[in-house]
Amino acid sequence: MEIPGKIKDLVFQLANDSSIMEIWLIGSRASGNTHAASDWDLLVFSTSEPQATTSRVEGIDVLWKGPSGNVLLEGQPTSFQFEFSDFNWLAVDEGQATYRGRKLNEVPEGIRDASILLHSFIEGKAVCLWQRH
């Protein structure tokens, strides 16, 4: 898999944060089922709890997992945190994992219908891009 420069740059930037232990590629890019509009999804394992921050790079979603098990997507308020246990993370080996993760469903703007599910679950693969040793 070819990793673009903007992903490599972000991984390098994140790796310089001493609280970060691992950076994983998840989503369609890791699972190999991309389409024209596919973004890049990174899962960051940190020794610090996730904080509400702005998104870093357009087209790259960064999920932060803290020691308590809380997960938060950059660009979202802390009220959007969820539990890492929702992922059903299973390490295959040091560089690969499988998971069952949440995917936010797209809801047309202005539509408020309680019958519309805000998220669904997907099966995915993960590839480790960086680990602190």
- Read off the pTM: 0.85
Q: What share of the chain is helix, strand, coil (3-state, %, to 5)?
A: 15, 40, 45
Cα 30 to Cα 27: distance, rounded to the nearest angstrom: 6
Whether the Cβ atoms of residue 17 and residue 130 lie closer than 8 Å to each other: no
C-alpha distance across the termini of the chain, in Å: 24
Q: How many CB atoms lie within 10 A of CB 15?
A: 16
Tell me the per-residue pLDDT of 91-110, one tens digit each, with 9 for 90 and over: 999 999 999 876 666 666 66
For 25, counting Cβ atoms within 10 Å of its Cβ (0-12 exposed, 13-18 middle, 19+ buried), the class is buried
Taking only the tens of pLDDT, the chain with its 133 residues reads 789 999 999 999 999 999 999 999 999 999 988 888 889 999 999 999 999 999 999 999 999 999 999 999 999 999 889 899 888 999 999 999 999 876 666 666 666 665 655 667 778 999 999 999 9
Report the chain's C-alpha Rg in angstroms: 15
Strand stretches in 3-118, DSSP E: 20-26, 40-46, 60-65, 70-73, 82-83, 90-93, 96-104
Whether the Cβ atoms of residue 103 and residue 124 lie closer than 8 Å to each other: no
